[in-house]
A and B are shown apart, each in its own frame.
Chain A
Amino acid sequence: MKTIIISLKIFLFFTVLTGIIYPLLVTGVAQALFPTKANGSMVNRDNKNIGSELIGQQFDSTIYFTPRPSAISYNPLPSGGSNYGLTNSKLKQLVGERKKHFIEFNQLDSLTEIPDEMLFASASGLDPHISKQSALLQVNRIANARNFGVAQKQQLIACINRLTEKPQILVLGEERLNVLLLNLELDKLK
Chain B
Amino acid sequence: MTLLDFIQVILYFSLLIGLTPILGNYMFKVFSGHNHIMKPVFGWLEKLTYRFIGTNPDEETNWKSYFFALLAFNFIGFIFLFLIQLFQAYLPINPTHLGNVSWHSAFNTAVSFVTNTNWQGYAGETTLSYFVQMIGLTVQNFVSAATGIAVLLVIIRGISRKTTDKLGNFWTDLTRSILYVLLPLSILFSVVLVGQGVVQNFKTYETVQTLQGAEQVIPMGPAASQIAIKQLGTNGGGFFNTNSAHPFENPTPISNFLEMLLILLIPAALTFTYGKMVGSVRQGWTVFSAMLILLVAGLSISLYAEYSSNPVFGHLSLMEGKETRFGITNSVLWSTSTTAASNGSVNVMHDSLSPLAGMVAMLNIMLGEVIFGGVGAGLYGMIIFIILTVFIAGLMVGRTPEYLGKKIEAFEVQMAIIAILAPSVVILLFSAWASVSSYGLSSLNNAGAHGFSEILYAFSSAAGNNGSAFAGLNANTVFYNLTLGLGMLIGRFGVIIPVLAIAGSMAKKKTIPPSAGTFQTDNWLFVGLLIAVILILGGLTFFPALSLGPVIEHLLMNNGITF
Contacts and interface: CB of A to CB of B under 8 A. Distances in A.
B313 A29 contact: no
Given A6-B53, A40-B248, A122-B321, 11 more contacts: A6-B54, A14-B142, A22-B187, A29-B191, A30-B201, A52-B218, A54-B197, A64-B211, A124-B247, A171-B4, A180-B211
Interface in B319-355: 319-327, 330-331, 346-349, 351-352, 354-355
Interface string A121-137: 11111111111000000
Nearest to B471: A83
A174 B326 contact: yes
A169 B319 contact: no
Interface string A142-158: 00000000000000000
A126 B247 CA distance: 7
29 contacts: A3-B65, A6-B55, A6-B171, A13-B52, A14-B142, A18-B143, A25-B187, A30-B190, A37-B198, A40-B201, A41-B197, A42-B208, A49-B206, A51-B208, A55-B218, A64-B211, A64-B212, A79-B246, A81-B351, A84-B445, A85-B472, A87-B312, A120-B320, A123-B348, A124-B242, A128-B247, A174-B324, A183-B211, A184-B211
Nearest to B199: A40
A26 B352 CA distance: 35
Given A20-B134, A88-B562, A119-B316, A7 B202 contact: no
Interface string B246-271: 11100111101100000000000000
Interface in B101-150: 123-126, 134-136, 138-139, 141-143
Given A10-B174, A74-B216, A81-B242, A30 B206 contact: no
Contacts of B529: none
Contacts of A85: 351-352, 355, 358, 446, 450, 453, 472, 553
Given A11-B80, A83-B470, A86-B313, A51 B247 contact: no
B446 A88 contact: yes
B217 interface: yes
A58 B213 CA distance: 10
Contacts of A60: 212
Interface in B143-186: 143, 171, 174-175, 178, 183, 186
Interface string A15-26: 101111011011
Contacts, number: 360
A126 B210 CA distance: 13
Contacts of A171: 4, 7-8, 11
Interface stretch (B23-31, B219-227, B393-401): B219-227
B76 A173 contact: no
B357 to A, nearest CB: 10
B482 interface: no
A68 B491 CA distance: 39
A20 B391 CA distance: 48
Contacts of B516: none
A89 B553 CA distance: 13
A62 to B, nearest CB: 11
| Chain A: number of interface residues, binned into ranges | 35 or more
B312 A86 contact: yes
B41 interface: no
Contact of B321 (A22, A83, A119): A83
For the complex of A and B, 10 pairs with smallest distance between CB atoms: A173-B253, A83-B472, A123-B245, A78-B123, A85-B450, A172-B253, A78-B241, A129-B324, A83-B351, A120-B320
| Chain B: number of interface residues, binned into ranges | 35 or more
Given A11-B80, A13-B52, A50 B254 contact: no
Interface in B272-326: 310, 312-313, 316-326
Contacts of B199: 37-40
A173 B326 contact: yes
Contacts of A167: 4, 253
A8 B159 CA distance: 31
B252 A173 contact: yes
A141 interface: no
Contacts of A19: 134-136, 138-139
A123 B242 contact: yes
Task: Name the residue among A33, A79, A180 with the largest chain B CB count within 10 angstroms.
Answer: A79
Interface string B37-60: 000000001000100111100000
A78 B211 contact: no
A135 to B, nearest CB: 12
A20 B92 CA distance: 13
Nearest to B248: A54
A121 B175 CA distance: 44
